[in-house]
Amino acid sequence: MLEQGTNPNAAYNSSERQSEHASTCHEDTRKTILATIMAWAQREDDRPICWLKGSAGSGKSTIAQTIAQRCDERKRLAFSFFFSRRNQDRTDVTKIFPTFAYQLARFLPSVNQPMREALVNDPAIFHQRLEDQFTKLIVNPVLSTIMPVSPMIIIMDGLDEYGGNVPLVELIRLLVDALPRLPFRLLFTSRPEAYIQDIFSTRSIDRKTYRLALQDFPADRDVYKYLCSCLSDIQIRRNLPGSWPSIADLTELARKSEGLFIYVSTLVKFVDDEYGDPQRNLQCAINSHRGLDSLFDQVLRGAQRYPCFEGVIGAVMLLRDRLDIDSLGRLLHPVDVRLALRGCLSILVVPADNGYIRPYHASFQDFLTDADRAKDHFLDPVKHNMFIMENCIKLIVADLENNPEGGVPLGYACRNWCRHFHLILSDMKGFGSMVEALMKHLLQWLKNWMCNVGSLSHVEQLRKDLYSVFTYIRVGQIYLNCC
């Protein structure tokens, strides 16, 4: 009776997961993080929730797959559900608890009878709200049977791919609120998205949660081992020279991966393409970051919905010097930097304190500034340097008059507005004689400004001159648009 309302594709060992090439961690890799999670799973302490967070492509699902298999082998896995944005049936919230009940009944046969009675007494359970489904199909049947000695493990992977009509926080809260009565331990994995961080930061959930961040478990050596093993298999299977790949190539690829297993797994598939030359493909891979482009595209499309996202991401990538979050906000005022980047927390490190924003992966900036790779996400240097320069000038005009001491943002603006101006002109291909005339006209002004920038008596003239620069650049933009 339960099977009709379930989603068999969501379990860790489903055929659909197999078709997605879902795999467990390679032998002799990820030992520390796996041991840490398994130790948590065996405890019976006051932190029955484990939240594993990590950047996009860092291997969270593979770790969850491995933990699910190990717990299943040890007769501890009560339920596994792997959310997937690519597969609509694995975001269908109405099937979560019937699927939970179906898997639980196979794991704990003693709940079969009370579940069957619940369905007979109320055949409409599948169409009821989540709270009623959970109570009738899970809570009551478990409470009516003899409890197992060891706690049962529940694994939900990819919370950031959950797309149900019911808010994610309600689903998690239902599970968490039942923990005092039920012998469950909950393992969740997700990207560190802001809304998910908010859920796990609520008092009732936070105090029960054991947090793990994948970035705290360096994977460089594991990536190297994984590469060695996979490429060695290709070398044997494709009858390639025994010296291939070289240690230098392996080291370079491991360095470029920066711990992202998705880069490595994609790279291995590319190298082993049946219609290609593995040796040539490997060299192409060394000279590119193509394995991450689709991942970046996915993240950035979701991030575009946040206000000021494009301007902030452009500034983070193109500023000459790194600015802390508060200083960046002042330079781009009025902008809420954290809000603008909420959709990018899986590919950008946005510290909780007033630190510096940086990409998790070094190739992210390469991707954004390469028009062929980034396509719709390309950061046009003229447009974004213009935006930065405009904000530098606004800050200079406002602060030199009212706050001559300045501070970090004003210091950046005074030192670097001209550099951004130069980059604008450098990228205006075809500007030709207009640029030459512009530079001649501005030469004397630049000398005067540099000599007098610290004097308040020149503020009014400075304001006029800076707005003149705007006019020249706007004329240049109009000229380029007409060409």
pLDDT tens across 267-313, in order? Answer: 888 888 877 899 998 988 887 655 578 768 878 888 898 899 999 99
Q: What is the DSSP string of 425-440?
A: HHH-TT-THHHHHHHH
Look at residues 167, 201, 216 and tell me which one is the last residue of a structural domain. 216
246 falls within a domain: yes
d(CA 445, CA 465): 8
C-beta of residue 214 within 8 angstroms of C-beta of residue 55: yes
152 plus 237 within the same structural domain: no
317 falls within a domain: yes
Q: pLDDT at residue 483 above 50? A: no
151 falls within a domain: yes
121 plus 261 within the same structural domain: no
202 plus 226 within the same structural domain: no
- Which of 302, 295, 301, 242 shows the shortest CA–CA distance to 264? 295
Is pLDDT larger for residue 233 or for residue 5? Answer: 233
Look at residues 192, 216, 240 and tell me which one is the last residue of a structural domain. 216
Q: pLDDT at residue 432 above 50? A: no
pLDDT tens digit sequence for 33-80: 999 999 999 998 999 999 999 988 889 999 999 999 999 999 999 999
The confidence band for 438, taking pLDDT boundaries of 50, 70 and 90, is low
Pull the structure tokens for residue 152.
């049962």
293 falls within a domain: no
Average pLDDT over residues 143-167: 87
310 plus 322 within the same structural domain: yes
Lowest mean pLDDT among 35-44, 45-54, 82-91, 122-131: 82-91
276 plus 145 within the same structural domain: no
The confidence band for 446, taking pLDDT boundaries of 50, 70 and 90, is low
d(CA 368, CA 410): 27
81 falls within a domain: yes
pTM: 0.72
pLDDT of residue 449: 54
Average pLDDT over residues 78-107: 89
Look at residues 169, 185, 216 and tell me which one is the last residue of a structural domain. 216
Per-position b or e across 437-455, b if 16+ CB within 10 A of its CB = ebeeebeeeeeebeeeeee
Residue ranges making up the domain that contains 351: 298-482
203 plus 258 within the same structural domain: no
Amino acid at 145: T
pLDDT of residue 451: 55
C-beta of residue 77 within 8 angstroms of C-beta of residue 203: no
208 falls within a domain: yes
254 plus 359 within the same structural domain: no
pLDDT tens digit sequence for 345-376: 878 888 888 888 988 766 688 789 899 989 99
The confidence band for 266, taking pLDDT boundaries of 50, 70 and 90, is confident
pLDDT tens digit sequence for 200-253: 999 999 999 999 999 999 898 999 999 999 999 999 999 999 999 999 999 988
pLDDT tens digit sequence for 109-120: 999 999 999 999
238 plus 165 within the same structural domain: no
210 plus 250 within the same structural domain: no
98 falls within a domain: yes
Q: pLDDT at residue 437 above 60? A: no
322 plus 446 within the same structural domain: yes
Q: pLDDT at residue 399 above 80? A: no
State the CATH number of the domain containing residue 50.
Answer: 3.40.50.300
The confidence band for 434, taking pLDDT boundaries of 50, 70 and 90, is very low
82 plus 211 within the same structural domain: yes
410 plus 466 within the same structural domain: yes
Terminal Cα-to-Cα distance of the chain (whole angstroms): 69
pLDDT of residue 433: 46
Tell me how many domains the chain contains.
3
Per-position b or e across 189-217, b if 16+ CB within 10 A of its CB = bbbbbeebbebbeeeebeebbbebebeeb
292 falls within a domain: no
Only one residue has tokens 């299977």, namely 237
Average pLDDT over residues 101-114: 93
The confidence band for 19, taking pLDDT boundaries of 50, 70 and 90, is confident
pLDDT of residue 184: 95
Cis status of the peptide bond prior to 8, with omega within 30 of 0? no
Average pLDDT over residues 10-36: 91
